Chain A
Amino acid sequence: DAMVIQNPRYQVTQFGKPVTLSCSQTLNHNVMYWYQQKSSQAPKLLFHYYDKDFNNEADTPDNFQSRRPNTSFCFLDIRSPGLGDAAMYLCATSRDLEGRSYNEQFFGPGTRLTVL
């Protein structure tokens, strides 16, 4: 089945220790998103790739970086995690034209990050 996969499902890191979360998709969608979601809050868009074009949200901290080496894979790097970065990180994909978000997004199962 075509799907969005995230690894690991649970990640524990220490304060300030870099961590990388991964996302892969078999849907062949051209857009990939990274969201941060804290308990009982709306998903917060960190950045997205429309094909190879990287789009950073204005309020995404510099501590967060992303890479998309090919259509199928996308990575979220947190360079120096703080306690406030503990959250669920969701990867999503969509097939959209010209960066327009009008098609449904398909989400991976998420990675729950704990910072000690």
Chain B
Amino acid sequence: GQNIDQPTEMTATEGAIVQINCTYQTSGFNGLFWYQQHAGEAPTFLSYNVLDGLEEKGRFSSFLSRSKGYSYLLLKELQMKDSASYLCAVVDSNYQLIWGAGTKLIIKP
């Protein structure tokens, strides 16, 4: 079967750095997405990785290791508005998107 694993919930402090991990076991790999979803709202696109390495985009960075089936999303200089769920999703060999259940990130002052 296909599986995406993320921690259910994480807590961090405003101004700090947090790393949200995602491991995957899928039939093939054609890219990995990170989406942000605020409570009661739709997911919004954050990043896409298909090659190994780090992609940086402002305060957010995403890393991929295909050999390890592993990705992380790094959030720097945390702000209260970063409180949300972060969803990892993998494109499999059939080019279908497999979603993780998301990591709920709680930011404390």
A-B complex is real: yes
Q: A residues within 8 Å of B by Cβ?
A: 40-45, 88, 90, 92, 96, 99-102, 104-110, 112
Contact between B41 and A110, CB atoms less than 8 A apart: yes
Contact between B95 and A42, CB atoms less than 8 A apart: no
Q: Which residues of A contact B85 (CB under 8 A)?
A: 40
Q: B residues within 8 Å of A by Cβ?
A: 4, 8, 30-31, 33, 40-45, 48, 50, 85, 87, 91, 95-97, 99-102, 104
Q: Which of B4, B40, B42, B97 contacts A108 (CB 8 A)?
A: B42
The A interface, classified by DSSP as helix, strand, loop or mixed, is loop
Q: Which residues of A contact B91 (CB under 8 A)?
A: 101-102
Bound-complex Cα distance A45 to B96 (A): 10
Q: Which residues of B contact A112 (CB under 8 A)?
A: 40
Q: Which residues of A contact B41 (CB under 8 A)?
A: 109-110
Q: Which residues of B contact A88 (CB under 8 A)?
A: 40
Given contacts A40-B104, A42-B100, A42-B102, contact A102 B95 (CB under 8 A): yes
Bound-complex Cα distance A100 to B95 (A): 5
Contact between B97 and A101, CB atoms less than 8 A apart: yes
Bound-complex Cα distance A108 to B7 (A): 26
Q: Which residues of A contact B31 (CB under 8 A)?
A: 102
Given contacts A102-B30, A104-B33, A104-B48, contact A43 B43 (CB under 8 A): yes
Contact between A101 and B95, CB atoms less than 8 A apart: yes
Contact between B97 and A45, CB atoms less than 8 A apart: yes
Q: Which residues of B contact A107 (CB under 8 A)?
A: 42-44
Q: Give B73 Cβ to nearest chain A Cβ, in Å.
A: 15
| Most chain B CB inside 10 Å of its own CB: which residue of A88, A101, A104, A112 | A101
Which partner residue on chain B sits nearest A112 by CB separation? B40
Bound-complex Cα distance A94 to B76 (A): 29
Q: Give B20 Cβ to nearest chain A Cβ, in Å.
A: 15
